[in-house]
Amino acid sequence: MSLPDRPRPDLDRDSTPWWEAVRRHELLLQRCDGCGTLRFPPRAVCGRCRSREAGWVPALGTGRVASWTVSHQVFMRAFADEVPYAVLHVRLDDGDGVFMYGNLAGTNPAEIEPDMPVEAVFADVDHELALVQWRPR
Amino acid sequence: MSFRDQAAIAGVGYTPFSRNSGVSTLTLAIDAITNALDDAGLTVDDVDALATHRVGDSTPPWVVAPALGIPEITWYLDQFGGGSVSHAVIGQAAMAVASGAARTVVCYRAINARSEFRMGGTGRDPAPIFDAQYQAPYGHLAPPQQFAIFTRAHMIKYGTTHEQLGQVAVGQRANAVKNPRALKRDPITLDDYLASRWIAEPLRLLDCCLETDGACAIVITSAGRARDLPVRPVLISGAVWGGGDSFFSGQGGDFTVSEAARIAPRLYAMAGAGPEDIDVAELYDCFTYSVIVQLEDYGFCPKGEGGPYAASGATRLDGALPVNTHGGFLSEGYVHGINHVAEAVSQLRGTAGDRQVAGAEVALSTAQPGYVLAGTSALILKADR
């Protein structure tokens, strides 16, 4: 793994708390105070009820594989030593319509199956940044 | 609302397509615009508006206009965005003409997508896409990777197969064989497709469009004025754009339905036509899968049956719905949407040579169907009789 060479996330004012939580190895979601909808990625406004009030709640940290890809082409030089590698699109168990991406951990891409149960694990890039990964459970 | 049939396409122009144009995107734009004006029987002095779309990879109208010596620009559009907005640029130009804001608009797209700005991401910084922060650190950003996820979702839900994807590539290559402008003119078989290397599973090399240097331009003026010009006008009967969900909005979790499904009813209503009226369809084919999902979402087959429909031969030149008659982005070249419009015009003029669809009167031309950035756009064009 060449984690430090990877593109770093371009944080914005809505996403910074989420990334800071990941650095602490916590997976958070926003929950709208107006209608209770769970929200990801972070936004200042609820798209359902337009409330600007929201809090952060811990995600269950589990989900199922909705889709995935295995990259063979070296699209970014930082991944030259990692191909072929998998990126998962995970439907979180917390509720409908909440998805996150992340790399596969703990097994190889040939083992991925539709709807495979996975759980979030954290990979430290350095003392300022960690990334979410997903491993079978 | 309607500006149905009020604006027309009066000319199309190309530069050669290549892997290295050797010139700037400004020069490409000027060459394509000049060729389009020649085709229309117009001159630079007739132009009062320019429109383009770009993602930080091309030359804007306010640079092209003085470089070309356009006397005065009364309206221009410098639309941020990729393939999904390609047909919105044409539609907005038609609105500008219909409203009187402009008399003669040239829409262009000029890119050195192989020699300068590869969308594959090799060596280039990540594009300024808002939600890239949730993908790029995982090595997930390039278009083939995004579409691989969508393709897989469709395979899981509907059983779409590699062979069905391959039939899209094979069929379009057969069309490109008949297109002197196409970059890839050697026929391919399904075996060739299945033997091509993985790019991002489940997508192979031959699922992917061609990174291309080139430009294409479209001249738009009023239908009345176009009828006084030497070539037969092609009417802009339907032009819509819009959408709602983005790939990561948290609301658009079902990747098997594209934004085309959302805009199709408005498009057909504006044009006063339905899927059964379409004689030829140029469907945005950044990847084979986008053709399959659009066959469904524009109503040519039931949802989930785009793969079998494409594999049935229906989309071949001699089929019920000829699709991507020039070979598409997979085989002609990729000018980010606009060469689909130009091919539709050729078909409706009846000047498409060996690949002409007999009696083509109504064409659908579409943009990237709304994955990645929310929204899509599309046109229904009709031959003027």
Residues B274-333: tens digit of each pLDDT: 999 999 999 999 999 999 999 999 999 999 999 999 999 999 999 999 999 999 999 999
**Cα A106 to chain centroid, rounded:** 16
* pLDDT above 90 as % of chain B: 85
Taking contacts as CB-CB distances below 8 angstroms, the residues of chain B near A39 are 250
* Cross-chain residue pair A99–B250, CB shorter than 8 Å: yes
Paired strand residues for B345: none
Which band of pLDDT confidence, cut at 50, 70 and 90, is reported for residue A10? confident
Provide the residue ranges of all domains of chain B, joining segments of one domain with +: 7-116+209-383
CATH of domain B7-116+209-383: 3.40.47.10
Closest residue by Cα to residue B289 from B187, B158, B186, B179: B158
Top residue of B134, B204, B206, B293 to mutate, by most chain A CBs within 10 Å, is: B134
d(CA B300, CA B275): 6
d(CA A73, CA A5): 17
Options B284, B289, B309, B371, the catalytic residue:
B284
Residues B125-138: tens digit of each pLDDT: 545 566 788 998 99
d(CA B16, CA B32): 9
Q: What is the pLDDT of residue B250?
A: 46
B186-215 in b/e form (b: 16+ CB < 10 A) is eebeeeebeebebbbbbbbebbbbbbbbbb
Taking contacts as CB-CB distances below 8 angstroms, the residues of chain B near A72 are 197-201
d(CA B381, CA B281): 10
Give yes or no: B284 in active site. yes
Residues A76-121: tens digit of each pLDDT: 889 999 999 999 999 999 987 899 999 999 999 999 999 999 999 9
Q: Is B350 exposed, middle or buried (0-12, 13-18, 19+ CB in 10 A)?
A: middle
State chain B's mean pLDDT as an integer: 93
Q: What is the pLDDT of residue B366?
A: 98
Give yes or no: B334 in active site. yes
The reply to whether B63 touches chain A by the CB within 8 Å rule is no
Cis ω for the linkage preceding B128 (within 30 of 0):
no
Mean pLDDT of all residues in A25-43? 94
User: Complex ipTM above 0.90?
Assistant: yes
Taking contacts as CB-CB distances below 8 angstroms, the residues of chain A near B121 are 75-76
Does residue B47 contact residue B23 with C-beta atoms inside 8 Å?
no
Domains and CATH numbers, chain A: 11-58 (no CATH), 60-137 (2.40.50.840)
Taking contacts as CB-CB distances below 8 angstroms, the residues of chain B near A97 are 250-251, 253
d(CA B50, CA B46): 12
Strand ranges (DSSP E) for chain B? 7-14, 49-54, 75-80, 104-112, 198-201, 203-204, 213-222, 234-242, 280-282, 362-366, 376-383
* Cross-chain residue pair B121–A75, CB shorter than 8 Å: yes
